[in-house]
Amino acid sequence: MRKKEILWLYIFLFASLADISMIIHPEINYRYLTKPLIMISLMLYFLQSTKLIKGSLLRITVSAGLFFSFLGDTLLLNKDLFLYGLGAFFMTHVCYIIAFKLTQNQTLNLFKVNFIKMFVYNIPLYILTAFIYFLIHAQLNELKIPVIIYTMAIVMMVTMARERYGRTNSASFWQLFIGAFLFFISDSLLALDRFFYPIIDGDLYIMGTYILGQLLIIMGIRSHLLQVNKASN
């Protein structure tokens, strides 16, 4: 890694640890600084490490996904802006869905896709999602439609991450898939904490899974690019 890449990665780690420490010790509250810095630094790390694909659709979509994550994190600092934060993260998932499709070595041919097999593989995810929605739906009120739309987006994001199996190297697949699933877990915990029952130390688990998930997604994309670059040389 080049020095600038390492610098932004260190800033990401520092901001993440600082933000988590402020969740543990709420009397020290500078989260309006630390929380936005997490995604800003990760985005700048990604941009520094992908200069070779400058201007590519992949670089644009991942960067946009990280920017919308930064926007969502900032908006969710104010609980009254939850719907706007939800919209920002919806855009993150749309960007990631496109990016995950672009980080596959094989072109997807819809005529050759076994949709029944795809559905069966994703049944555990669908069941888990349906169960979480069953728990929270009574408290959603006017947010019901936005939450349903958002839920469809994040499920599609995790599904697209799983569909990369066999279409990229093993390290890239597992890093990105685990990252996407942790993102899903983070959002699920947030939904349960807000609309079902307050979770003890909920913010800690929500941010912990979210930060690790985002980092693994970026590392998974980076692993794919390293393989592609190595194969082309």
Report the predicted TM-score, pTM, of the whole model to 2 decimal places.
0.94
The residue assigned the tokens 């994703």 is 122
Predicted pLDDT at 229: 77
Count how many Cα atoms sit within 13 Å of the Cα of residue 200 in the half-sphere of its side chain: 0
Mean pLDDT of the chain: 93
Query: Would you give the distance in Å from CA 174 to the centre of its chain?
Result: 14
pLDDT, tens digit, 9 for 90 and up, residues 48-58: 999 888 889 99
DSSP 38-83: HHHHHHHHHHHHTGGGTT-HHHHHHHHHHHHHHHHHHHTTSGGGHH
Question: What is the distance between the alpha carbons of residues 230 and 56, in angstroms, rounded to a whole number?
Answer: 18
Predicted pLDDT at 1: 59
Predicted pLDDT at 106: 67
Low-confidence ranges of the chain (pLDDT < 50): none
